[in-house]
Structure formats: structure tokens, C-alpha cells
Chain A
């Protein structure tokens, strides 16, 4: 599955998106854990609270939320607009 990154997280990872192999559906927590495995050097960036997650462009607070095949998934730092 493809995952998008924004802002500081994108810069720290050095990429705007990545592809990880993961059987779907999977919980958001499982996707987060897979990212930590994929980026072991930057694991701390994905800690809950440090990296927010959106599924299909909606912010998700419940880590049990399922991610389905074809969903747009993004991780990014807490927002700082306004």
C-alpha cells in the first residue's frame, strides 16, 4: 500500500510517499507498526501523538480504524495552521 507524508515528517524521511507490503484490511495501528519497521532509523517519528494519521483525507483518532485496499492513507505532524 501507498502512504503519503507531509511537512516535517516528509523532510525527515526524505520522501513524500512510500510503498509498504501489508495485507489489507489492517488496523491503523498495524499500518503504523509497519511504518516503524520500514523506517527503523526514524521509528520515533511515528509514535502516536507525534504523527497524526488520515484515512481518505479524514483525521483518525481511533487506532483500531480499518484501512482497506484503495484507501488514501497519510501520516503527518500535528498541524500548525491559522
Chain B
């Protein structure tokens, strides 16, 4: 699966099978960047316990085309809300093992408040609006992960 770039040159959005390197992403947020005093990033990992079961791995499915569009919209919304200069957003798909990296959201801004808020906002909306689905392998077999009310309720803080 090929990486796809956002149209805005200041932002990078990719949906890919390949792993990502946080050091590289952080370097890209800092490279030739004289205006930003804050970088905030989040990484999401596969954990071994979920919804009461031992998980040995998972597969991430997505809706090619819509996924990229949804992520671009979420980043655009965050950028219209906060003075954010660069966003790097990478989400993996395919088969992943325990402790593998799933998602990276990195944001740079002049000041920390905007960077923290925009990063948090992007993750909250990604959880609710981006068409990804996790199927876990557990000791009882495979199962689709259920969406959680708490993820939906998390959007309340941005209304």
C-alpha cells in the first residue's frame, strides 16, 4: 500500500502498512522550522489486553480513498481552530503484533497550548471519523473490536 501525501506541503498524511520512525517524524517537524517553539506528538500502540481478552495481534482494515479524505479533513479542521504550522499523521493498516506502532500524530506550533490541543483533537476525531477497523486475534479466536462510548463522548470537550 502506498503512502499518500496531503496536498498542503506543511502537512504530511499517510496510510501505510510500513512501520514509522518517531525520530524521523520529529526531525521533519523541526527541520528548517524557526517559528515553532512547541512540538507535541502521540503514538498509539497495540496492547496485549483489550476489552477483557488477551490479544496476540490484530489486523487493521480501512476504506481506501475515504480514509485519506477523512484524515485530511480532520487535520484541516484542527488547523482552522489552532495556529498550528505542521502536522504529521501516519496510520498503519494490515497485520500488527503486540507493542507495534499503530498511529503517529505530531503537531508543531509557536506555543505549547495549540500543539497539545490540536494533537488531542486530531486523535479524538480520528477515533470517531476515520474509517479504520481493528480485528483482534485473541485466545478465543478473532473478533472485531467494538467502538466505545467513551471515544464518542470524548468529542464533547471540543464542542
Contacts of A74 in B (CB 8 A): 63, 66
Task: Report the separation of the CA atoms of residues A78 and B128 in the bound assembly, to the nearest whole angstrom.
Answer: 8
Q: Is the CB of B146 within 8 A of A79?
A: no
- Cα of A44 to Cα of B144 in the assembled complex, Å: 17
Residues of B within 8 A of A57 (CB): 63, 65-66, 69-70
| Residue in B69, B126, B146 whose beta carbon sits within 8 Å of that of A81 in the complex | B126
Interface size on A, residues (CB 8 A): 17
Q: Counting CB contacts under 8 A, is A54 at the interface?
A: yes
Among B2-10, B23-31, B113-121, B132-140, the stretch in contact with A: B132-140
Q: Which of A23-79 contact B (CB under 8 A)?
A: 54, 57-59, 74, 76-79
Please name all residues of chain A whose beta carbon is closer than 8 Å to the beta carbon of B123 when the two chains form the complex.
Answer: 82
A51 to chain B, nearest CB (A): 12
Cβ-defined contact, A80 with B132, below 8 A: yes
B132 contacts A76, C-beta separation under 8 Å: no
Given the known inter-chain contacts A54-B63, A57-B65, A59-B70, please indicate yes or no for A81 contacting B147, CB distance below 8 A: no
- Chain B residue at minimum C-beta to C-beta distance from A57: B66
Tell me the smallest distance from the CB of B24 to a CB of chain A, in Å. Answer: 21
Fill in one digit per residue for B65-83: 1 if any A CB lies within 8 Å of its CB, else 0: 1100110000000000000
The closest CB in chain A to the CB of B123 belongs to A82
Docked CA distance A11–B65 (Å): 20
In the complex, A54→B70 CA distance in Å? 11
Write the nearest CB–CB distance from B87 to chain A, whole angstroms. 15
**Do A81 and B62 touch (CB < 8 A)?**
yes
Pairwise interchain contact A79-B132, C-beta atoms closer than 8 A? yes
11 additional contacts, CB 8 Å, given A6-B61, A77-B144, A82-B44?
Answer: A11-B144, A57-B69, A74-B66, A77-B133, A78-B147, A79-B129, A79-B130, A80-B133, A81-B103, A81-B130, A82-B126
Residues of B within 8 A of A (CB): 44, 60-63, 65-66, 69-70, 91, 102-103, 123, 126-135, 144-147
